[in-house]
Amino acid sequence: MGATFPLVHDGIAGVASLPFLQARFLLAAFALIPVVLMRSGIRSMFQARCIVPGALLAAGYLLQTEGLRTTSPSVSAFLTGASVVIVPVLGVLLRWETGSPARWGAVILALFGIFLLQETRLPDRWSAGESMTALCALAFAAQIVLVGRCARAAGDPVSFTCGQLVVAAFVLLASGVIRGEMLYSALFSREALIAAVFTGLLATALAFFVQTWAQRDVPAGVVAVCFAGEPLFAALVSAIFYGDRLSAIAWTGAALVTAAMLIAALESDGRRGNLPGDALSPGAWSVRFRV
């Protein structure tokens, strides 16, 4: 959800990244575990296919959160949005998807729209924060591709989602032990606590469930273009709540991103093999925006 870029940017001030992320993913996992128990039993979420996507989630969010310490929310949103290009490239290289002209056109349109949306306000000097955020985009792209590959075979989407969140929480806790940054020893400000609860329950537990459910029928390339709406919402929230003004150039970028999302959602061919539905199914319109 693009709204969380500025929320996390402000919330992590004075709090180490790992304890913040540990709280976020533990809250997300514990929110879904009761649902898993009622639907399919606790054993259903312990699947080998959850390990790599879960680890990629942990790596991506850690890189993104660390990057936000020295990178503005708008630049972070743009660089994270670069996954819109990485996802279809990975899908084609792995021969898991085929890219149609309409989808590649949507990818290019979305990336150009994101660039205009940020009003070309890229950093004058490339810092470690930008590098970490770029690596975060690669991790997120790989996670999207893997979820698209595994979602149907994984069975219950709630169990598959919860399994990934448990793996991510474990990786973050293990990293905290190594770095000496654990949740129980951290002091959370009111802003950090609000950010952890909001992102844990809504932008992680609910959002990743929606992604996993949607990717049973929707190609990863389409999902990636829909994720281009993330910097759009980040810019709108910054404008509404943080006083940023959107220029005519930024509004043009917003229109291009919206158009790209519509093209991707209406374009139905892409995943190797036959899909049981098409991009007009509810899943095509239900992918979530991440941070």
- Tens-place pLDDT, residues 106-124: 888 887 887 787 665 566 6
So what's the pLDDT on residue 108? 84
Helix/strand/coil percentages in the chain, nearest 5: 70, 0, 25
- d(CA 4, CA 148) in angstroms, rounded, equals 24
Spatial distance between the Cα atoms of 140 and 98, rounded to a whole number of angstroms: 20
Cα-Cα-Cα-Cα torsion 173, 176, 181, 186, nearest 10 degrees, comes to -10
Q: Mind giving me the DSSP string for 170-213? A: HHHHHHHHHHT--GGG----HHHHHHHHHHHIIIIIIHHHHHHH
Average pLDDT across the chain, whole number: 78
DSSP state of 284: G
For residues 202 and 30, the model is more confident at 30
Burial of 234 (0-12, 13-18, 19+ CB in 10 A): buried
Note the pLDDT tens digit of each residue in 226-264. Answer: 776 666 666 666 667 666 666 788 778 878 877 887 777
**Helix (DSSP H) and strand (DSSP E) numbers for the chain:** 13, 0
Examine the pLDDT at 282 and tell me if it is beyond 50.
no
Q: Match 């020295």 to its residue by tokens.
A: 70
The strand pairing partners of 97, in sequence order, are 271
CA 271 – CA 38 distance, rounded (Å): 32
| CB within 8 Å of 40: residues ≥ 6 apart | 155, 156, 158, 159
Quick check: 160 pLDDT over 80? Answer: yes
Domain ranges across the chain: 4-285
Per-residue pLDDT band for 158 (boundaries 50, 70, 90) equals very high
d(CA 280, CA 4): 28
Maximum separation of any 2 CA atoms in the chain, in Å: 53
Do you know the residue count of the chain? 291
Q: Model-level pTM? A: 0.76
Most confident of the following: 144-148, 185-189, 236-240: 144-148
Give the DSSP letter of residue 97.
B
Q: What is the pLDDT, as a whole number, of residue 112?
A: 83
| Closest to 209 in 3D by CA, of 152, 165, 157, 167 | 157
